[in-house]
């Protein structure tokens, strides 16, 4: 592509240079967070981490295409790039990783990656996969009943797309033409099971059976994802119903810190996919567009590292929840005054 063609792609989509650069900064933040937490786990500072490396470009791009002040978000457990983009901070994520009392997602109750943040309209999630799809549909239904102009956005993996709740939720949303955007982050593996043993067809094609739009998009191409989600949102608000987006990507990390991925895939395969990494590709795009440089990259890395160090220190030193607080919040009003 010539310089001019490259240059105009994000602007054609309505993104300013600052916004495009902002997207990249978020992708880098998510990547560096993930790498830091893997180190913390290996160092024995924390017990567990489930990684999203290789999926950040699509996550961040999707968030940028949504209304981050109005829409409702139901991310799945690898969506660090997404939740950072809709307002969570590195400090908040670190508090969750360290399972500290101040963790806004669960007060140190849930595994990391089980997001929730009411102020940011990030809806609390669980570990049994895909239960969040009917919730997203219910939120879209409620918003429609109340006449609110917003969408719910829900993500899940390709393995999860085989759960009944995916089908039940999609069908319900299709019947009522609800403003839901469903994004499957197809990262080629459900823990160890490769996609060809997981799916007989394409996730995107299933939308046909539910009566709405389904499309497959290159998840390593941030701007393609941005365009797809933006169009889906416009369609949803115009009463056109849900959209299913199958974002194709590759999980570069093992499933979690408890997983040895080389037991079921080769180093060569991982390395080959590392070459297609969407974050690196977006950086190259910005550089070719003349709005990003090696110096800016270094400055950004230093700034994120500084923020990360501060967040890590803060979370490490923050107090755990009191043992007795284990009994709180089973029902409304069962905790002492001010108990959180």
Residues that are catalytic = 251, 255, 264
Site for another protein contains 332 (CB under 8 A)? yes
Closer CB to another protein, residue 197 or residue 340? Answer: 340
Site for another protein contains 118 (CB under 8 A)? yes
Site string for another protein, 96-115 (x = CB under 8 A): -------xxxxx-xx---x-
Q: Which of 126, 266, 293, 322 binds another protein (CB under 8 A)?
A: 126
Site for another protein contains 165 (CB under 8 A)? yes
Site for another protein contains 212 (CB under 8 A)? no
What is the Cα Rg of the chain in Å? 20
The rounded distance, in Å, linking the Cα atoms of 39 and 49 is 10
Binding span for another protein by CB under 8 A among 62-70, 130-138, 219-227, 242-250: 130-138
Q: Which of 124, 162, 192, 257 binds another protein (CB under 8 A)?
A: 124
Binding span for another protein by CB under 8 A among 21-29, 78-86, 165-173, 283-291: 165-173
Binding span for another protein by CB under 8 A among 54-62, 137-145, 197-205, 250-258: 137-145
Closer CB to another protein, residue 173 or residue 289? Answer: 173
Site for another protein contains 323 (CB under 8 A)? no
* Least distance in angstroms from the C-beta of 47 to another protein: 18
* Least distance in angstroms from the C-beta of 255 to another protein: 20
Query: Among 203, 189, 206, 230, which Cα is nearest to 64's?
Result: 230
Site for another protein contains 267 (CB under 8 A)? no
Binding span for another protein by CB under 8 A among 62-70, 116-124, 182-190, 266-274: 116-124
Site for another protein contains 255 (CB under 8 A)? no
What are the residues facing 217 on neighbouring strands?
247
- Contact residues for another protein, defined by CB under 8 A: 72, 103-107, 109-110, 114, 116-118, 123-124, 126, 128, 131, 133-143, 145, 152, 164-165, 168-169, 171-172, 175, 328-332, 335, 339-340
């Amino acid at each position: 592509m010539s310089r001019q063609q490259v240059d105009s792609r994000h602007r054609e989509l309505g993104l300013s240079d600052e916004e495009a650069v902002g997207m990249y900064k978020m992708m880098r933040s998510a990547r560096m967070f993930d790498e830091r937490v893997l180190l913390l786990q290996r160092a024995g500072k924390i017990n567990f981490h489930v990684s999203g490396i290789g999926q950040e470009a699509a996550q961040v791009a999707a968030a940028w295409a949504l209304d981050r002040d109005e829409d409702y978000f139901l991310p799945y457990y690898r969506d660090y790039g997404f939740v950072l983009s809709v307002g969570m901070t590195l400090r908040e994520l670190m508090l969750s990783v360290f399972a500290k009392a101040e963790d806004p997602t669960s007060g140190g109750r849930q595994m990391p990656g089980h997001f929730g943040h009411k102020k940011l309209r990030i809806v609390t999630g669980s570990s049994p996969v895909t239960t969040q799809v009917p919730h997203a549909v219910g939120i879209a239904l409620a918003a429609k009943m109340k006449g609110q102009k917003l969408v719910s956005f829900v993500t899940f993996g390709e393995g999860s797309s085989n759960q009944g709740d995916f089908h039940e939720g999609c069908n319900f949303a299709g019947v009522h033409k609800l403003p839901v955007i469903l994004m499957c982050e197809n990262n080629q593996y459900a823990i160890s099971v490769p996609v060809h043993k997981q799916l007989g067809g394409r996730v995107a094609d299933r939308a046909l059976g539910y009566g709405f739009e389904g499309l497959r998009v290159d998840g390593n191409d941030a701007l393609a994802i941005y365009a797809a989600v933006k169009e889906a949102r416009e369609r949803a608000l115009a009463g056109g119903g849900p959209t299913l987006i199958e974002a194709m990507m590759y999980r570069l990390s093992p499933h979690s810190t408890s997983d040895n991925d080389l037991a079921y895939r080769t180093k060569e395969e991982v390395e080959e996919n590392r070459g297609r990494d969407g974050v690196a590709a977006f950086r190259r795009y910005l550089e070719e567009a003349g709005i990003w440089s090696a110096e800016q990259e270094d400055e950004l890395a230093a700034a994120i590292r500084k923020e990360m160090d501060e967040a890590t220190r803060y979370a490490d030193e923050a107090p755990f929840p009191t043992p007795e607080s284990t009994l709180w919040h089973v029902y409304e009003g069962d905790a002492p005054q001010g108990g959180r």
